[in-house]
Amino acid sequence: MHRFLCHILCLSMCCLLIVLSGCSDNNDFPFPQSSQPAPPPETQPAPPTETPPTPLPEILVLTSPARIAAFDVDRLLVSDYESNYIYIVDKTTLRPTAKIKVQGKSTGIALADGKIFVGNRTLRSVDVFDLQGNYLYRLGTGKAQFLQINDVAVDATRTIVYALDTKGKCIKRFNLDGISAGTDIGVSTLQQPTALTVDPTTGNILISDFGNPGIPGVLKDDSQQVLPSVQIFNFDGTHIQTINGATIATSGGGMMGGTTTLQTTFSTPQGLYIDNNYLYLVDALSATIRVYNLSTLTQVKTFGVRGTALGELFYPLDIIVDNSTKDVFVTDNRNKRIAVYRGEGVAP
């Protein structure tokens, strides 16, 4: 019996081996016949692992340079009216290297006490920032301190900020902390003030004034005509002198009388800067820079020409002089750039 069972078991094993060997060629076999591991289920291929490209540095450009001030030995501060930014500009390349956002159109600009003072035409205020561009406070109390803020200057000796209000026809003065520092300057004297500067030696305030001339070169019929000028005030607000931009001249004569006309030296005075007792004045319309001896109030030099080529100006608005190099920097508004006249400043 035992032997019979062994025979039956051996026969069963042989039949099983025959069946398995026959299945090895069956194409319907549910598992792969290859000895390689099974592939993963079909999925979308994973994106290749790549290092993201390094973003290119932002290229800063001026769109409407208005006012200019010194930032440090190598750089300038420039307000850019249309872009709502102020820029830090390299003196060598004349290219912006950094920018600070302003919540409005920027006009006058000045640096003092580690702070940047910026005229804001939109908010009618003077906003104060630290050197990193963080907003600190505004001059005065509340918004809309001015009818039309157009320029800012600082008397570093007396720590006074002067803010020019064109439509208000005056200069307002503040302490560096924003508190009012006295009564307005130029009331009843100024007509259309546009820009100002402070004489670092005397503390005098010099103000460009379009006046009320009517058509350039033609006398108005009424007696209210006020010619373009630079008005000079003492730091206490007392009017001292005037530099006239035009004179009335009469030519001809005889029985028929002469012809009365205006002889214009400048018609649209804008930015002012004083260096070593010389006043530099920008005449926007003629695109010229005029230099005056402040002791005699006489013009000693003029340069600049209207145009769009390199070295030419198209509606310049402001000016600054490097005291050591005598390089003259000008905000060339319509040409959207800073122009420089290397060594053109007057030596002492």
Q: Which domains are assigned to the chain?
A: 65-341 (2.130.10.10)
End-to-end alpha carbon distance in the chain: 136
- Rounded Cα distance between 117 and 347, Å, is 30
- Rounded Cα distance between 210 and 48, Å, is 66
DSSP 201: T
Query: Which value, in Å, is the radius of gyration of the alpha carbons in the chain?
Result: 38
Q: How high is the pLDDT of residue 175?
A: 97
Q: How high is the pLDDT of residue 90?
A: 98
- Rounded Cα distance between 222 and 297, Å, is 29
- Rounded Cα distance between 194 and 182, Å, is 21
Match 């060594």 to its residue by tokens. Answer: 343
Say if residues 157 and 200 touch (Cβ distance below 8 Å).
yes
Tell me the DSSP string of 237-271.
S-EEEEEESEEEEEEE-STT-EEEEEEES-SSEEE
Q: Cβ-count burial of 26 within 10 angstroms (0-12 exposed, 13-18 middle, 19+ buried)?
A: exposed
- Rounded Cα distance between 44 and 89, Å, is 51
Say if residues 345 and 275 touch (Cβ distance below 8 Å).
yes
In order of 45, 56, 323, the CA distances from 49 in angstroms are 12, 21, 56
Cβ atoms within 10 Å, residue 341: 18
**Where do runs of H (alpha helix) occur along the chain?**
2-23
Tell me the DSSP string of 262-280.
EEES-SSEEEEEEETTEEE
Q: How high is the pLDDT of residue 226?
A: 83
Cβ atoms within 10 Å, residue 87: 26
In b/e form, how buried is each residue of 293-313, taking b as 16+ CB within 10 angstroms?
Answer: ebeeeeeeeeebeeeeeeeeb
Bridge partners, 247 (sequence order): 263
pLDDT, block means (10 residues), the chain with 348 residues: 47 44 37 43 60 79 97 97 96 97 96 97 97 96 90 97 97 97 95 97 97 66 77 96 80 53 82 97 96 94 96 97 97 98 93
Say if residues 187 and 170 touch (Cβ distance below 8 Å).
yes
Q: How high is the pLDDT of residue 21?
A: 42
Q: Of 136, 119, 100, which Cα lies nearest the Cα of 318?
A: 119
Match 């319907």 to its residue by tokens. Answer: 28
